[in-house]
Amino acid sequence: MKTARTTVWGLGALFAAGLSSAALAAPTPTADARGARSRGPVVGIPSPLAKPSDPNACAGITVPFTSDAPFGVGEELSYDLSSSGLYVGKFEIKVGHPRGYGKDRSLSFFGRGRATGIANTLKPFSGRYMVLVDPDDLEPRELRTESTYGEDPRTEETRFTPKKGELAAKYLQSGTKATRTYKAKMPAFDLLTLLYYGRRLALRPGMKLCHEVYADKRLWRLDVEVMGVENVSTPAGDKPAQKLVTHWLRLPHADFDPAREAPKVDVEIYYSTDPSRAPLAFVAKTKDFTARGDLVRWVTSQGDGEVTWSF
């Protein structure tokens, strides 16, 4: 069941990216509030093919971090996913313990999703996701995914080389091993990293941005507008949340048929206005279906349950 699988994993991940990315741009750069010891977040590099006055140019990230991270090791967020009013699965994310990466240390973020109920009966799906990121600027360094779609086991390993503007992925799908590389016009982010990156930044109504995001072996252009505050229903009662409207468009690649229309996804995201900056809900829409995710569980303690998440 393609719709269920996309709802549980692809759109669960798109929710994470769209939510965080809405905080990544402002009219002008500002000073880094974290101090001289940090390199600060990377500023997006406009496309060399775009003129400075081009309104469609993708300028990337222009806002630095403004406070300490509102998340810590052991935090877990869990979402119920539904489509057409039916419960179809669960999507969860977690902050892992720091890990070694060559001579450096990396933060680790985890995600996992699974189909349930009728969606799992028609086409079983489960998957997990890990990304290692630079602890200072939160740039992704490496991600890994493992999933099973029906009887098809799938894996992916992707390396990010921001200084060269490159992404290189090795993956297994439908029993075939393949590779795919991209030249990004700016230091691209993966989906899960963007979620946590966005929680470090301030949102203001009227902000707009464009950035390049890597997801599901593809590079996407993400456009976001920050809207006003609305109340969102949660297990702890109604909570005020900043509404974000995001638009996703897959970018061209040599492996894709240029005669076919590029996939598009619209995602509305509701971001907590309290100091936690937690993502509370999202609504994802394509031309074929609408999916919704709602936060149903939030654990902030630093437990030892990472063994079930690790690669």
Q: What are the tens digits of pLDDT across the range 12-28?
A: 444 433 333 333 322 23
pLDDT band at 122 (very low <50, low <70, confident <90, very high): low
- The whole-angstrom separation of Cα 60 and Cα 221 is 10
8 A C-beta contact, residue 7 and residue 80: no
When pLDDT is averaged across residues 293-307 and rounded to a whole number, the result is 76
- Close Cβ partners of 173 (under 8 Å, ≥ 6 residues apart): 152, 154
Quote the tokens at residue 53.
């006055």
Instruction: Supply the pLDDT for residue 30.
Output: 30
Return the pLDDT at 240: 95
Q: What is the pLDDT of residue 55?
A: 65
pLDDT cut 90: percent of the chain above it: 27
Q: Are 75 and 96 in contact (CB under 8 A)?
A: no
Task: Give me the residues paired with residue 234 across strands.
Answer: 237
Per-residue tokens: 141: 């360094």
Cα 239 to the chain's mean position, in Å?
22
Largest Cα span, the chain = 54
Give me the mean pLDDT over the 155-180 stretch: 90
pLDDT in tens, 62-110: 777 877 888 889 899 999 988 888 888 898 999 998 988 877 899 999 9
